[in-house]
Amino acid sequence: MFSVPEQFSAATKANIDAQLALFSALSGKAFESIEKLVELNVNAMKSTLEESSAATKQLLAAKDPQEFFNLSTSQVQPTAEKLLAYSRHLTSIASDAQSELTSTAESQIAEGNRKVLALFDEVSKNAPAGSEQWISFFKTAVNNANSGYEQLSQNTKQAVEVLEANLNNTVTQISQATKPAPRAVAKK
């Protein structure tokens, strides 16, 4: 059987190891998301430059103002669709990152709490008489902290869901607004 100082020393080491593992996992997930974001932006910029160059050449080759106007208006819908696709992809990256970070943090925190409570239960078995109130206070504090974290986690998830729903609604509205209007049939 270990003495109380040895148990606390082992618990402290385990806690530091758990925090390092959490930081490492969160950093890895964050860098993966940043890498996806950079790749999306580089591809978007490359595509935009190529398409802008081609569109400019077409516009400069227009023979009259009507052709110039027709070419200009024909580019609005594809550009809006590409912007919407970019927005959806960006939202997907952010949503996936949030989900992965939350999942990783929750699992690491749950494991850390389990270890702390197990250690505390072991130490409390050997606690001197009269320390029951302190033990009860500590367990209540840990349970309250866990409840607070769970509530914060739920509120964050709800906020992200509302944000995603609003963004999707906005994207849908913009998509509908940029659809070309049906052309009026000329009367003879």
pLDDT digits (tens, 9 = 90+) for 144-186: 877 877 787 787 778 777 877 777 777 677 667 766 555 554 4
**Over 50: is that where the pLDDT of 11 sits?**
yes
For 34-59, the pLDDT digits (tens) are 999 999 999 999 999 999 899 889 88
Which tokens belong to 36?
Answer: 């996806």
Crossing angle of helices 132-177 and 76-125, rounded to 10°: 170
